[in-house]
Structure 1
Amino acid sequence: MKIGLYFGSFNPIHVGHLIIADTLYDRSDLDEVWFVVSPQNPLKKRQALAHEHDRLRMVELAIEGNFHFRASDVEFRMPRPSYTIDTLTYLSEQYPQHQFSLFLGSDNLDQLKKWKNYEQILEYYQILVYPRPGEPKTIEHPSIQVIEAPLLDISATFIRKSIQEGKSVRYLIPESVADYIRDKKLYQ
């Protein structure tokens, strides 16, 4: 099977994540999309992250009923910080029958050369790029494929701030995720 890996903190997962995943799935030859919940991105400053198990549960709730989507906690059991190449290598060893691709926003392409062993990623894995507002849409490399997708500017930071301020996040996150956040008193 061909699996697209969508790495993220998903703090929380929102409709932008889901639209991008669905679009990349629909416009490629993927069989499934796995949402890989990352405990901590090594290139990002430590932020107010909800507990990783809460973020995993929110992903599970958000994708419930979509049999092409799967939540993954693979990085929970790996050394930290987690590096993409290590996760890709681990998954490729655990699931040799699968072919893995990586989802990447066009805003992260300029950061790719800062990633651990990025040359190996480009050599062994396909990268499916989705456009981000204000970012270039064409990158020339045989392993990189730009997928036409809606330009979305929805951020988890905006959602967390809205929750802290008691503002509505309706239509920004799935209702099941909103209920979970409210019940667990996350981001307050």
Structure 2
Amino acid sequence: MTQLKRKIGLLGGSFNPAHDGHLHISKLALEILGLDELWWLVSPQNPLKSEAGMAPLEQRVASAKTVAKGDARIRVTDIEQKLNTRFTVDTLAALQAEYPENAFVWIIGADNLRQMPRWKGWRDIFRRVPIAVFPRAPYSLRAQNGRAARRFFSARIPVAKASRLVDMLPPAWVFLRTPLHGQSATRIRRHIDVSSARH
């Protein structure tokens, strides 16, 4: 008898800092995609982001654990540091080799779908794992008409089938229709900088 794989969502990012927006997306992903767990992959350093203003990894992991502590299904990890990977395509390959008992789905925002052609091996990412895309203002429309969405147009599935996404053979992706959350790490850092300047 074939053993069913655990369904794991992967949400990567700098988490600089983690915030309620991450939690909002995670809870929706757990419910809509029918996941057993969701892992927050706190990146040592996003190759597309500047190191300026980036808090130390330990601090970002700690903030993520604080935000996620109310939901036992969310696992905060710095596994990219342990795997010595910096690019998503390499991280996914390493995770699939390390955890063959898991079925993974990659979770991103519309902003990442739009910029994905800048990522190393972005086509291989689509071919390696199913992808769930969450709307994010103001990127959603442009993302759905962008290069990555056009390239894998035939692999896009309807929202009604999202609960089966994690079991599908890639390439397979869905653009979800969910309520937007206004919080962002950039906005939080900007608020902190303004508050600091006033004191």
Same fold (TM over 0.5): yes
Quick one: distance in 2 between partners of 1:133 and 1:55?
A: 24
Q: Which has a greater percent of helix?
A: 2
Quick one: distance in 1 between partners of 2:55 and 2:135?
A: 27
Q: TM-score, normalised by structure 1?
A: 0.81
Q: Which residue of 2 aligns with 1:45?
A: 50
Where in structure 2 are there 5+ consecutive unaligned residues? 1-5, 156-171
Q: TM-score, normalised by structure 2?
A: 0.77
What residue identity is the alignment partner of 1:67?
A
**Residues 19-55 of structure 1: CA deviation (Å, up to 9, x unaligned):** 0111111111211110000011112233311110111
Structure 1 consecutive aligned stretches of length 4 or more whose deviation exceeds 6 Å: none
Q: 1:30 to 1:141 in 2, by over 3 A?
A: farther
Where in structure 1 are there 5+ consecutive unaligned residues? 168-187
Quick one: distance in 1 between partners of 2:97 and 2:22?
A: 27
Identity across matched positions, percent:
36
Q: Which residue of 2 aligns with 1:6?
A: 11
Quick one: distance in 2 between partners of 1:36 and 1:141?
A: 29
**Residues 57-79 of structure 1: CA deviation (Å, up to 9, x unaligned):** 11112111312110011111244
Quick one: distance in 2 between partners of 1:41 and 1:17?
A: 17
**Residues 61-106 of structure 1: CA deviation (Å, up to 9, x unaligned):** 21113121100111112446x0001111111111100011111111
| CA root-mean-square deviation | 1.9
Match of 2:182 among 153, 164, 167: 153
For these two proteins, the number of residue pairs brought into alignment is 167
Report if the CA contact (8 A) 2:12-2:41 is conserved: yes
What residue identity is the alignment partner of 1:26?
E
